[in-house]
Amino acid sequence: MTSPSHGTAFVIGGARSGKSTFAESLVTGSGLDRHYIATGRAWDAEMTDRIQKHRADRGEGWTTHEEPLDLVGTLEAVDAPGRAILVDCLTLWVTNLMMEERDMAAAFASLTQFLPSARARLVFVSNEVGLGIVPENRMARDFRDHAGRLHQMIAAAATDVYFVAAGLPLKMKG
């Protein structure tokens, strides 16, 4: 699958839906210099293993930037024509912001304000968290609400939006 040299794609789906693999396919073979911004933190051994597996599955040809909080600063530093920047994932970024008690509205606004000026091809990956039952505790409900608001903002700004389920992408926009 070929990808434009600029613009923003948003890939959303459930856990283990195939969204990261699909997102990578949007820029693999594009001829663009590929950069990967990982927002995950290794809080425990299981998450450390997941991060290592993701890196191995991605393979060679990616420059990885690990940034759990300052996503916009990292995007600004890496952004350049001829590049593709894949951010995986926004829901982990939301978790990190919540854990650090950051201003969610300001962080989300900063990200969406950056998008129109980006010179690189941007691809964002995130977990759809609003299709299940209402979470039982306030923090989980706040997380779902923050993620849902961010997803709407990114989808509105993106040129292309895909929903991935069972490894199958459904193009929703673009």
Q: Which of 6, 35, 54, 151 is catalytic?
A: 54
Q: Which one, of 40, 132, 29, 133, lies nearest residue 84 by Cα?
A: 29
- Crossing angle of helices 138-157 and 90-99, rounded to 10°: 130
Report phi then psi at 66, rounded to 5.
Answer: -100, 115
- Note if 151 is an active site residue: no
21 CB-contact burial (10 Å; exposed 0-12 / middle 13-18 / buried 19+): middle
* Alpha-carbon dihedral 21, 26, 29, 32, rounded to 10 degrees: -120
Cα separation, 84 vs 35, in Å, equals 6
The Cα–Cα gap between 53 and 108 comes to 29
- In order of 20, 65, 146, the CA distances from 101 in angstroms are 27, 23, 13
- The catalytic residues are 54
